[in-house]
Amino acid sequence: MNNPVVKRMSLLNMGCRVNWTEMEQLRQQGVEQGYQPVGEGEAADLVVINTCSVTGESERQARQLIRRVVRENPGARVVVTGCYAERDPAALSAMAGVDRVVGNREKSNLLKWIEPGPRPPLESCPPAVQAGVERARVFLQVQNGCSQRCTFCVIPPLRGQSRSLPLDEALQQAQRHVASGIREVVLSGINLGEYGVDLLPPLTLAHLVEKVSQIVGLERLRLSSIHPADLTDELLAWFADSPRLCNHLHLSVQSGDSLILKRMGRHYGREYLCQRLAHLRTLRPDMVLGGDFIVGFPTESDEAFKNTLSLVEEEGFSLLHVFPYSDRPDTPAAAIGKRFHVPGDLLRHRSRLLREAGRKNLLILLRNLINQECPILVESVENRVASGKSSGFLPVVCQEVEPSMVGHILSCQIIGVNEERGIALARPLFPNQEAAI
């Protein structure tokens, strides 16, 4: 009897957490269809590259990755998908070694589209809203698409209008993962704050948080990035009412200057944001803030940048994603005259200042943890050194931990800070026992 041929599949991902979630779903489909997942750099029969198009730099990195994959895997089928594949399939199809370009609409059934045989109709390819699983946590994608029209962003036409996973399905998926032993569920989406607006009857993200928080056995519930305009009183109240909801919030702030925010089409100003954050801190004083920031949006003056920098400093944003502005095709911002663009050297200087401010805030938070008890979700253990995250998503390493603790919540005492790496150093309070949450 001949042994079955093992097909090896390598999945390479770029971009947002939604991309990571969708690729995990693809990995699961691949296993079901006889593929053996292999890591980057290992020999593969099929390589799928999930691209991002949020900035020009993202697309440049995607092309660089594609060329490297083709060079290192001369015998493999190379399939490119994701937002860049949706935005400019012709350019990617023309690249040497690319066998297939698959858009976002087909991504959820990608393997059926690239294998021999009849292709599924587009209508049978639903939004990719399944749960992505890591050993330590689950990213539950409950929303896809975006109905906002920010002047700098190309994502809405690539992802389509906002679509939400029905509440019952979201709860069933969350319950299934909690029952399997997952300690932390992360609600994610392209524009998570729009969850439920398209459902009948309409729901809100706060309603979803309420229902998921009630799942028996759930220990941590976390929100992925949300739009500041979606910080409703109803949602913020849950940070005080639910001990399971992590004291961490990542906001797509983009700028701290009200005029720049208006030109971005963001529908809120600096004063609104500061009021919302002040209210949040009355409910959860230990809140840890992350944020997305665009540096150098056209017409950004020195004063406008200083407003962004002071917002980061004064509000304590510590986990920053800083994006130097780049024109995206067919967006209103791309039509702004080049004389209003920030020069490249100044763009890099401002980006560095903003990252340094975020790092300074991070080190302050980490130092304040010294001698404190800090439960962490253990993500990995190597040589009995555990890496994990606090409820506030602060990075912690802990000595003398067994590999069996991966995916468990471990109670630690913070004993120091590695300032170069930006991580807290800890020792276990109760080795190999889960923390009481």
pLDDT digits (tens, 9 = 90+) for 347-380: 999 999 999 999 999 999 999 999 999 999 999 9
> What would the pLDDT profile of 228-287 be if each residue is shown by its tens digit?
999 999 999 999 988 899 999 999 999 999 999 999 999 999 999 999 999 999 999 999
Same domain, 339 and 403: no
Same domain, 363 and 375: no
Contact of 269 with 307, CB cutoff 8 Å: no
Same domain, 335 and 193: yes
In total, how many domains does the chain have? 3
Q: How far is CA 323 from CA 38, 55, 67, 168, 381, in A?
A: 31, 8, 24, 36, 32
Last residue of one domain, picked from the residues 93, 124, 155:
124
Encoded amino acid at 24, one letter = E
Q: Does residue 335 lie within any of the structural domains?
A: yes
Contact of 334 with 327, CB cutoff 8 Å: yes
Q: Does residue 437 lie within any of the structural domains?
A: no
Q: Does residue 209 lie within any of the structural domains?
A: yes
């190309």: which residue's tokens?
A: 154
Mean pLDDT rounded to a whole number for the chain: 89
Contact of 35 with 8, CB cutoff 8 Å: yes
- Give the closest residue to 325 by CA, choosing from 354, 357, 303: 354
> What would the pLDDT profile of 329-340 be if each residue is shown by its tens digit?
889 999 999 999
Q: Which residues of 368-402 are buried (b: 16+ CB within 10 A; e: fewer)?
A: ebeeeebbbbbbebeeeebbbbbbbbbbbbbeebe
State the Cα–Cα distance between residues 111 and 120, nearest whole angstrom.
Answer: 10
Same domain, 16 and 72: yes
Q: Does residue 434 lie within any of the structural domains?
A: no
Q: Range with the lowest mean pLDDT among 40-49, 72-81, 100-109, 326-335?
A: 100-109
Last residue of one domain, picked from the residues 71, 97, 124:
124
Q: How confident is the model at residue 222 (pLDDT cuts 50, 70, 90)?
A: very high
Contact of 391 with 186, CB cutoff 8 Å: no
Q: Does residue 2 lie within any of the structural domains?
A: no
Q: Does residue 299 lie within any of the structural domains?
A: yes
State the Cα–Cα distance between residues 347 and 431, nearest whole angstrom.
Answer: 47
CATH number of the domain at 388, please: 2.40.50.140
Q: Burial of 186 by CB count in 10 Å (0-12 exposed, 13-18 middle, 19+ buried)?
A: buried
Max intra-chain CA distance, the chain: 75
CATH number of the domain at 314, please: 3.80.30.20
State the Cα–Cα distance between residues 143 and 164, nearest whole angstrom.
Answer: 4
State the Cα–Cα distance between residues 315 and 210, nearest whole angstrom.
Answer: 27
Radius of gyration of the chain (CA): 22
Q: What range defines the domain where residue 52 resides?
A: 7-124
Same domain, 207 and 264: yes
Strand partners, 223: 187
Q: How confident is the model at residue 74 (pLDDT cuts 50, 70, 90)?
A: confident
Same domain, 190 and 104: no
| Kind and range of the H or E run holding 67 | helix 56-72
> What would the pLDDT profile of 408-435 be if each residue is shown by its tens digit?
999 999 999 999 999 999 999 976 566 6
Last residue of one domain, picked from the residues 85, 102, 124:
124
CATH number of the domain at 39, please: 3.40.50.2300
130: which DSSP letter? Answer: P
Residue that wins the pLDDT comparison between 310 and 115: 310
Strand partners, 60: none
